[in-house]
Chains A and B, each alone.
Chain A
């Protein structure tokens, strides 16, 4: 395929893709996301391919293996269009029936959703409780896209925002739009992306970089992987637009080494974008040059921290550095480097395409747009969800999540992995909001939400999280390396019945020093879960200490 030279050529190509597709034709999408893959969706996919071949239906049925549909614990997921009929827990032996019904426009009754309590059926995606309370702006296209085919992304309007930015907007206008949208970083900090972009843009060095942080080290967070694996072009489009606005000609995607499928999809996306002329020199005749390199972490949590990540891209050990000077001013090879996480970048094409006013119409006063959340733990329906900012946690846990399994009562909600926090279930009506959740002591972080049931031992969870961080600390600065170790020792003692009278005071002291004295966010926030647990579940700690001091 020759490189596209102009925006008009891209639109002609898109029109051709549309013309070649019959929207009335049945389309079967098998989920190949991480959980479905673990439930052997590959066998289901192979069965569909074989069945279509056997019956010679290549011209009558569209079939694709896609990224994560979202409803992970009911996998393998299959969605059949038109009408987005959802089938759950599909096995290879169900395949002939699904194909036969798809051709006839019928539904395989035994595979549709049934409410576990009421038995009520839901056939279409917009009727399934897990999906119907969501607003799937970023992930809604994933079931429609084979991530290995750029044409599928173009068919859902992909790279339209890039065209708009390059042909109708100046870099300053793009930046203004992102600032006006008040897009806040989805990686954990909630820092306004527009201000960060502006800092890099205005930094005196001529060479600048833009980076996708796809490290996603936060435990129980898996939405960025779903996004990047399922629709890599959307993230890439955001990155290219960001490069244009900021004045960077080089981008980096930094992601996990342990997800081969994700690496394959990103690599293919980069190759195809380059082939089409959406990367490389003089993109769509605009005079803007941009290329992207893919880098992998090598298995350590702290490499998701911005300065550590940049050291890693340079080929050095990922040790964070003090941020007296921000990485947006001096990052990779001391050049201004703007880093945003996967979800933040994925929002950019939406903001440019639909406008900042549309974006700010969603969400709360200070948290705009939608938020991806990985919903897991003690919850009936688990998976990747997307809801407007401001959605009450109750909607997420009960309406979407279906509550706690096995008839147990929920006890706590944990956000933000090992550097997040837990709040008691009595706060379930709190809205999903960066600032509100931080005030409660459970900052959203990247968006990993865990439901904990009544049997959960909070002291043990606090210990578990610290144990995780102790192993992940890079060891460069003393407060983090030693402070966490001491806190872990005290918590371990409490659990082993060797708790002492002033342990909680000592923990509070250590938590404060570690937070104040550590170099990077890992140490600074390492005690956050513990602090939240001491705030809301202190009695559990006291009971454990008291029990330990008595003769057994």
Chain B
């Protein structure tokens, strides 16, 4: 965990309880998950009850309360991707990684996410790894793509 960065994010929002979501989002982006003690720090600094921090952190899908893998594997489950075989793609990725959406493997290599419509519908179905888009994916090609990640 990059404690300094997290602290500087928290400092930026000290006392601004309206900025709770902003603060948590930035920490999530930086650290990829929200440890308990970090949320406590946020609660103290922004002067909001811990329960409210938890309410936000557990409500929104973006926030993770558990550590994530080194690579975020995202299979688009939006409507176009679905029509074009997104479910089969998801099945294959689940099989390769041994994960269900939301899970992280024991070596913390991959976290699998199902996500709806990322706006590149014209090249669906899509696999997105660490923000890099792999369009027109087939279950066969997905295996080759995933192999590139260590």
CB-CB under 8 A for A259 and B119, given A38-B126, A317-B59: yes
Any B CB within 8 A of the CB of A222: yes
For A376, list chain B residues within 8 Å (CB).
80, 121-122, 124
Which one of B21, B117, B135 has the greatest number of beta carbons of chain A within 10 Å?
A: B117
Total A-B Cβ pairs within 8 A: 112
For B124, list chain A residues within 8 Å (CB).
376
A315 with B116: CB separation less than 8 A: no
Partner of B79, one of A38, A216, A296, A450: A450
Any B CB within 8 A of the CB of A551: no
A39 with B123: CB separation less than 8 A: yes
CB-CB under 8 A for A219 and B62, given A378-B83, A417-B79: no
B21 with A315: CB separation less than 8 A: yes
CA–CA, A220 and B76, complex, Å: 11
CA–CA, A216 and B118, complex, Å: 10
Chain B, Cβ-Cβ closest to A417: B79
A-B contact pairs, 18 of them (CB 8 A): A34-B119, A37-B133, A38-B123, A38-B133, A219-B79, A219-B80, A221-B117, A259-B118, A298-B25, A298-B56, A300-B60, A301-B116, A315-B17, A315-B22, A376-B124, A378-B83, A383-B122, A456-B83
Any B CB within 8 A of the CB of A139: no
Nearest-neighbour CB distance to chain A for B11, whole angstroms, equals 18
CB-CB under 8 A for A418 and B79, given A34-B119, A38-B123: yes
Interface residues of B in 17-38 (CB under 8 A from A): 17-22, 24-25
A222 with B62: CB separation less than 8 A: no
Nearest-neighbour CB distance to chain B for A448, whole angstroms, equals 8
A72 with B123: CB separation less than 8 A: yes
Interface set of A (CB-CB < 8 Å, partner B) = 34-35, 37-39, 72-73, 75, 216-222, 225-226, 257-260, 296, 298-301, 312, 314-315, 317, 374, 376-378, 382-383, 414, 417-418, 448, 450, 452, 456, 461, 464-465, 468, 474
Any A CB within 8 A of the CB of B82: yes
For B63, list chain A residues within 8 Å (CB).
298
Nearest-neighbour CB distance to chain A for B133, whole angstroms, equals 3
A317 with B80: CB separation less than 8 A: no
CA–CA, A39 and B136, complex, Å: 9
For A301, list chain B residues within 8 Å (CB).
116
Partner of B120, one of A72, A216, A465, A474: A72
B123 with A374: CB separation less than 8 A: no
For B122, list chain A residues within 8 Å (CB).
35, 72-73, 75, 376, 382-383
For A414, list chain B residues within 8 Å (CB).
79
Quick one: CB contact mask for B71-87 with A, threshold 8 Å, 1 for yes?
Answer: 00000011110111000
CA–CA, A382 and B124, complex, Å: 11
Partner of A298, one of B60, B115, B133: B60
For B83, list chain A residues within 8 Å (CB).
377-378, 450, 452, 456, 461
B116 with A468: CB separation less than 8 A: yes
A34 with B62: CB separation less than 8 A: no
CA–CA, A376 and B84, complex, Å: 10
Chain B, Cβ-Cβ closest to A420: B79
Chain A, Cβ-Cβ closest to B29: A257
Which one of A73, A220, A258 has the greatest number of beta carbons of chain B within 10 Å?
A: A220
Partner of A299, one of B60, B77, B78, B79: B60
CA–CA, A72 and B56, complex, Å: 36
Any A CB within 8 A of the CB of B147: no
For B120, list chain A residues within 8 Å (CB).
34-35, 37-38, 72, 222
For B78, list chain A residues within 8 Å (CB).
219-220
A314 with B18: CB separation less than 8 A: yes
B25 with A257: CB separation less than 8 A: yes
A225 with B20: CB separation less than 8 A: no
Chain A, Cβ-Cβ closest to B86: A464
Given A38-B126, A315-B18, 16 more pairs with CB closer than 8 A: A37-B133, A216-B119, A220-B80, A220-B121, A221-B117, A257-B62, A258-B118, A298-B24, A298-B60, A299-B60, A374-B121, A378-B84, A414-B79, A418-B79, A448-B79, A468-B116
Nearest-neighbour CB distance to chain A for B132, whole angstroms, equals 9
Chain A, Cβ-Cβ closest to B74: A258
A382 with B133: CB separation less than 8 A: no
CB-CB under 8 A for A464 and B133, given A34-B119, A221-B117, A376-B121: no
For B84, list chain A residues within 8 Å (CB).
377-378
For B131, list chain A residues within 8 Å (CB).
260
For A221, list chain B residues within 8 Å (CB).
117
CA–CA, A312 and B63, complex, Å: 15
A317 with B123: CB separation less than 8 A: no
Any A CB within 8 A of the CB of B55: yes
Nearest-neighbour CB distance to chain A for B23, whole angstroms, equals 9
For B117, list chain A residues within 8 Å (CB).
217-222
Partner of B116, one of A38, A219, A452: A219
